[in-house]
Amino acid sequence: MKIAAGGPRTEPRPLRSAAAAPGGAALAMNRGFTRKSHTFLPKIFRKMSTQSSKERPENLQFSFLDDDATISTVKESKTLFIIRGLPGSGKSTLAQAIQDQYKDACKIISADTNKIIPAIRSSIPEDYSKLDEDLVDYCKRDISVVVVDDTHHERERLDQLFDIADKYQYKVLFVEPKTPWKMDCLQLKDKNQWKLSVEDLKKMKPSLEKDFLPLYYGWFLSKKSSENLRKTGQAFLDELGSLKVFKKESKYFLPAEDPKVKLDLTSYFAKRPPGVLHCTTKFTDFGKAMGADEYAQQEVVKASYGKAFTLTISALFLTTKTAGARVELSEQELLLWPGDVDKILPTDNLPKGSRAHITLGCASGIEPVQTGIDLLEFVKLEKAGNKGDDIEEVGGGKLQYFGNGMWMLLLSKKIEVKALFSGYYGKGKLVPTQGSNKRGSAFNPCTII
């Protein structure tokens, strides 16, 4: 084991169970789990946990270091690892372990290397400007794995990182050391390189003990999977827009005062959610939403955080408000799905997972949450016996029309996409779907005449 920047080499002690572990940010959830310590988890998760557990000390067992599927997904993604914890807790050792796993695909940015002394501050020091220059440079170069090693005890500083992640479409993973002493200020006094006192450490401790919940949890697609799904969505728009039957029904997309205007579907779906394409599971509003804490504390959520999944896309759909992809959840994925989101009205009784979707675009003035509501409208029609009118076989499958501008393409070959289960921590502001840079848009221009 390499020496951590936060202190001298120390042999790892046995890690306490997740329930007994002291403190820690709630979103550093990927707490290496084993058959013995998590016998209450579903078997499918226990099976996933044992791949390389014997190859590392227990305090370095993370899915992004040991699980082959997760490592593969991270390599084809753009991921910003935010390592969080008190000085001397083992952050630099963890950062080095990530570097060792991903090698040339990984870059580490360290506050310690930049001589930024951790402390309680009234404002973020200018010293971070050089660190952020390096971060932006790596993001511009599309480095697959970027690790920021710092205490990250200040929300203002984290918001700066979230903005950069949004701008360059990086998914964020919060991780913290699993060392037994990570919240023990007496031990950390001797381990931290800055010679901080117990009192100094105790001042930072409360902000690192508090749960840090995202705006929402979900599965965030790899860069490769995102690009493939966007291309498929673009092909759907292109083909749909060329069909005479769609042109006859395009009145639902046109302003009543000027029904003869040219319809550009890409301009019509002018916005998309920020960051990478994703399938939301739970909206937590940074802990303020109803049921947020209960969801975040579920063992299956903690165990899955930072782990790879393969989602199945069964259909693409389009309404006058949104364009999206319908996600078919597996038994394993349904364990992460809340039980109260698959309804529009309180009386609705729809199958669990009915709302699972990926938003590809939104019409002007429409929020991404509408995509899930639109999909539930399709599901309600299907449940009522309305399977839609079969229009014709197109390139990707069978096209159906449900009336009122509601179109669905049932894919003849379902699409599998790789994704990491994580959280979105940014501001959530919609961004344009059109763009000329390579980070690019969900759709390219498509005009219906």
Query: Which of 357, 381, 353 has its CA nearest to residue 369?
Result: 357
For residue 374, count other CB atoms closer than 10 A to its CB.
21
Q: Which are the catalytic amino acids? A: 278, 357
Residue reference for tokens 């919240």: 183
DSSP type of residue 316:
E
Whether 439 and 189 have beta carbons less than 8 Å apart is answered as no
**Tens digits of residue pLDDT in 165-221:** 999 999 999 999 999 999 999 999 999 999 999 999 999 999 999 878 999 999 999
DSSP type of residue 121:
-
pLDDT at 159: 96
Q: How many helices (H) and strands (E) does the chain have?
A: 15, 16
Query: Which of 222, 162, 209, 171 has its CA nearest to residue 27?
Result: 209
Q: For residue 434, name the pLDDT band (cuts at 50, 70, 90).
A: low
> Residues for the chain: how many in total?
449
pLDDT at 259: 62
Cα angle 22, 28, 31; round to 5? 70
Tell me the C-alpha to C-alpha distance, in Å, between residue 280 and each of 22, 163, 228, 371: 29, 19, 19, 11
Q: Which helix (H) or strand (E) holds 132?
A: helix 128-140
d(CA 57, CA 66): 11
Q: What are phi and psi of 420, to 5 degrees?
A: -110, 135
Q: Which helix (H) or strand (E) holds 47?
A: helix 43-48
**Tens digits of residue pLDDT in 46-71:** 444 444 445 788 899 999 999 999 99
d(CA 43, CA 50): 12
Cβ-in-10-Å burial (0-12, 13-18, 19+) of 124 comes to: middle
**Tens digits of residue pLDDT in 90-142:** 999 999 999 999 999 999 999 999 999 999 998 999 999 999 999 999 999 99
Residue reference for tokens 């759907």: 236
Average pLDDT over residues 332-339: 97
pLDDT at 54: 58
End-to-end Cα distance, the chain: 64
Tell me the residue type at 131.
L
pLDDT at 33: 35
Average pLDDT over residues 9-15: 40
User: Out of 101-115, 261-275, 304-318, 369-383, which region has the weakest mean confidence (pLDDT)?
Assistant: 261-275
**Tens digits of residue pLDDT in 348-362:** 999 999 999 999 999
d(CA 265, CA 241): 8
